[in-house]
């Protein structure tokens, strides 16, 4: 599995993550066929250095914009200001409706940006399915 970004979109994501330090930043990715066409930088409604939650109203507006643009929500991103780019146990739990194995967003790629080196943010992608984490290759073009 692979997710393709425009370099400019990746930079928009990195800038948003850096601007939100020391807290986590989050956003959504609209695209099609494994290509990100639009990165949406969003508000962290419950900001913390190891936590994020999207604002439901903003999420609704972004999902509508994605649909209106003829795209699909193909990914979510958030930052880890002080830890590696790998899903935390909270991230894995949040991929499901509480208490179930039903994915919140089937077939999305979870992109995590680590800011451990502020001068050089690194993004990695993952699928979270049935509680299992698998890496998805991110390519910038």
- 16 or 37: CB nearest Zn ion: 16
User: Which residue has its beta carbon closest to Zn ion?
Assistant: 91
- 37 or 91: CB nearest Zn ion: 91
DSSP 106: T
- Which residues, 6+ apart, have CB-to-CB distance to 70 below 8 Å? 32
- 64 or 86: CB nearest Zn ion: 86
Q: In angstroms, what is the minimal distance from the CB of 124 to Zn ion? A: 11
Q: In angstroms, what is the minimal distance from the CB of 33 to Zn ion? A: 26
Q: Could you tell me if 44 and 53 are in contact, meaning their C-beta atoms sit under 8 angstroms apart? A: yes
Q: In angstroms, what is the minimal distance from the CB of 105 to Zn ion? A: 15
Kind of pairing, strands 2-5 and 132-140? parallel
- 82 or 102: CB nearest Zn ion: 82
41-4-10-110 Cα dihedral, nearest 10 degrees:
50
Q: In angstroms, what is the minimal distance from the CB of 92 to Zn ion? A: 9
Give contact residues for Zn ion (rule: CB under 5 A).
88, 91
How far apart CA 136 and CA 121 sit, in angstroms, is 17
């Amino acid at each position: 599995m692979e997710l393709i970004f425009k370099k400019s979109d990746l930079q928009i994501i990195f800038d948003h993550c850096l601007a939100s330090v020391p807290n986590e930043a989050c956003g959504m990715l609209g695209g099609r066929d494994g290509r990100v066409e639009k990165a949406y930088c969003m508000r962290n409604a419950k900001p913390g250095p190891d936590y994020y939650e999207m604002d439901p109203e903003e999420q609704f507006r972004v999902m509508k914009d994605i649909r209106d643009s003829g795209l699909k929500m193909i990914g979510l991103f958030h930052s880890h200001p002080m830890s590696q780019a790998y899903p935390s146990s909270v991230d894995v739990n949040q991929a499901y409706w509480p208490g179930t194995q039903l994915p919140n967003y089937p077939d999305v790629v979870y992109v995590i940006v680590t800011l451990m080196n502020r001068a050089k943010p690194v993004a990695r992608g993952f699928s979270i399915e049935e509680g299992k984490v698998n890496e998805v290759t991110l390519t910038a073009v």
